[in-house]
Structure 1
Amino acid sequence: MRAIQITEFGGPEVLRPVELPDPVAKPGQLLIDVAAVGVNYADTHSVEDSYLSRSTLPMVPGGEVVGLTADGRRVVALTATGGYAEKAVAWENMATEVPDGVSDGAALALVVQGLTAWHLLRTAGRMAPGETVVVHAAAGGTGSLAVQLARRFGAGRIIATASSKEKRELALELGADVAVEAEAEGLKERLVEANGGAKVDLVLEMTGGPVFDASLAALAPFGRLVTYGMASRTEPTAVAAGKLMAHSTAVVGFWLMHCVGKPALHAEPMAELLRMVAAGELNPLVGEAYPMSEAARAHSELRARRTVGKLVLDPRR
């Protein structure tokens, strides 16, 4: 089968097309004939071995696939690795049947980014109706879904950040009340101004570094910052317990892997998200579909923030 493999850690340049033997499903696993592969920002960290879980070589990256099982079921599944290939294996409890009317790209947008957005708001952020929510990278795969879900879950005000005028306009179309420049300098002041001069209740943050610091400073008493990524590859300034106490604020970390395999945290939210998409109540933003042979270009574009929505690889190209 055709696949993308890495034999050394690094940037997009280490992603190389190869021919490999078909994988073999173990008991409790499904062999999936892959129709489309999802590209997630975590993939870029795995390829350079900077993710929360360590990578081993050689490796076929990719943890999101949609396709057909041997018995003809159309499923979307999480895989530990091995997704960038024509065939992949996944544990049965990591696979969800895709309803008619939900496209491959939309299903892939939900399996990591949709579930992440749901948990950022519900589980980690504990968003209450009427609260002000800040969504960073609001035109991206997770952010675009978080904006829509925050609106459906009753947010009082949604403030989006994005790196370009076009992306900010898109965030407004998705349901944000206001969209501001994502640059770290002056970010705290822009967020407070966008909230009518008041500090904010909940921030969904995945950049790290000075964006994290500015977002934390923008929190109202009892506000929460949920951190779920570090796209800048820069650690924020150390969070001091005294400062958190002085402002009654909280920093919450979130990693989706702590939810997988648990029905109440994985299967049930995933079913809810798929139902919402099938009913036209949620619109996953599907971006460019790249030939699988151009996985390196997809990673380069993603890291440079030149993409919008969910990126997909086509294993047939």
Structure 2
Amino acid sequence: MLAIQFDRFGGPEVLRPTQLATPVPGPGEVLITVEAAGVNFADTHQVDGSYLTADALPYVPGSEVVGRTPDGRRVLARVSHGYAEQVVAKESALLDMPEELGAAEALALLVQGLTAWHLLRTSARLRTRETVVVHSAAGGVGSLAVQLAREFGAGRVLAQVSSPAKERLVLDLGADAVVTYPLQEKADVVLDAAGGELFDRALDSLASFGRLVTYGNASRTGFTPVDPARLGRLNASVVGFWLRPTLAAPGAVSGPVKELFALAAAGRLRPVAGGSYPLAEAARAHEDLLARRTTGKVILVP
């Protein structure tokens, strides 16, 4: 079967199509023929070696797929090694999918939807009428966080984006305004996956008892040291978030996923489908993601 693999760390150019044996499911597992694999920013960190944990090489990235089981069920699943034509998943990790739901929309609600949900509910502990700033608001996580912040009772939802086209998208999704730093108003919550200078400027924008939730380092500039005295002067906090260990907590997946799908079914949450790339062009998908040329959910199609 065709899969995308890297055998050393580097940029997207290390991602290469290769032929691998079809995986064999073990007890409690099922083989899935992949319809589409989701691309997440965390995948780019795995490929360049900057992820929070290092994986043994060679490695096939990919943490989520939509596909079919041998008995014809269309399912959504969290997996390992999803950049492939076929993948093994735990039976307990499968969610049945309606035929009419697009693969990109479904995949947006899994890893990125869970990330946005937990950023606001678990890490930021968003309260009613608070002001939320979402960085990279047109991306997979950001576009959902803008909508969920509104759904969860935020008073003001402000978006940071990188282009006029993305400004139009986030305003259409419900953001009150597009902002640049320095902000004209203080923020109770800031969601940041960029790091670097943006992180630093966001920290100074926090209101008293504000929370800056950091969940990535897309700028690749290194993590900014945080002086405890500075936090004291700001009367604010910095909260770190990583989805992988969060998923192991009781109730961290099933309840939020059900809520996300219910909101989408009711038309109150709109997953944004981004670019669709052939599986063999995974490197180009990563290049476009890193260059901020994408919006919403990016997928690979075998």
TM-score normalised to structure 2 length: 0.96
2:55 paired residue number: 55
Matches within 5 A, 1:209-228: 209-228=196-215
Report the Cα offset of residue 158 of structure 1: 0.6
1:285 paired residue number: 272
- Structure 1 CA distance for aligned equivalents of residues 250 and 82 of structure 2: 23
1:184 paired residue number: none
How many pairs were matched up? 302
Gaps of 5+ in 2: none
- Structure 2 CA distance for aligned equivalents of residues 273 and 103 of structure 1: 15
> Is the CA contact (8 Å cut-off) linking 1:135 and 1:160 kept in structure 2?
yes
Matched, 1:298 2:285: yes
> Is the CA contact (8 Å cut-off) linking 1:9 and 1:49 kept in structure 2?
yes
- Structure 1 CA distance for aligned equivalents of residues 234 and 128 of structure 2: 22
Report the Cα offset of residue 100 of structure 1: 5.0
Report the Cα offset of residue 30 of structure 1: 2.2
- Structure 2 CA distance for aligned equivalents of residues 97 and 303 of structure 1: 32
Where 1:162 maps in the other structure, the secondary structure is: coil
2:29 paired residue number: 29
1:137 paired residue number: 136
Specify the code of the residue in structure 1 equivalent to 2:56.
T
Where 2:256 maps in the other structure, the secondary structure is: helix
1:207 paired residue number: 194
Write the deviation string for residues 250-269 of structure 1: whole angstroms up to 9, x where unpaired.
Answer: 11111111222445111110
Where 2:233 maps in the other structure, the secondary structure is: helix
2:17 paired residue number: 17
Specify the code of the residue in structure 2 equivalent to 1:203.
V
- Structure 2 CA distance for aligned equivalents of residues 249 and 94 of structure 1: 38
Matched, 1:312 2:278: no
Matched, 1:245 2:232: yes
Matches within 5 A, 1:67-146: 67-80=67-80, 82-146=81-145
Write the deviation string for residues 14-69 of structure 1: whole angstroms up to 9, x where unpaired.
Answer: 11111111011121222111100101011111111210121211111111111112
> Is the CA contact (8 Å cut-off) linking 1:8 and 1:14 kept in structure 2?
yes
2:151 paired residue number: 152
- Structure 2 CA distance for aligned equivalents of residues 123 and 83 of structure 1: 27
Q: Percent same amino acid among aligned pairs?
A: 56
Write the deviation string for residues 116-137 of structure 1: whole angstroms up to 9, x where unpaired.
Answer: 0001110101001100000000
- Structure 2 CA distance for aligned equivalents of residues 174 and 261 of structure 1: 31
Deviates more, 1:5-14 or 1:295-304: 5-14
TM-score normalised to structure 1 length: 0.92
Deviates more, 1:49-58 or 1:89-98: 89-98
2:160 paired residue number: 161
Deviates more, 1:93-102 or 1:204-213: 93-102
Where 2:260 maps in the other structure, the secondary structure is: helix
RMSD after superposition: 1.3
- Structure 2 CA distance for aligned equivalents of residues 30 and 260 of structure 1: 20
Distance 1:299 1:260, change over 3 A: same
Specify the code of the residue in structure 2 equivalent to 1:62.
G
- Structure 2 CA distance for aligned equivalents of residues 144 and 117 of structure 1: 9
Matched, 1:173 2:172: yes
Matched, 1:266 2:265: no
Specify the code of the residue in structure 2 equivalent to 1:177.
D
Where 2:42 maps in the other structure, the secondary structure is: helix
Deviates more, 1:149-158 or 1:24-33: 24-33
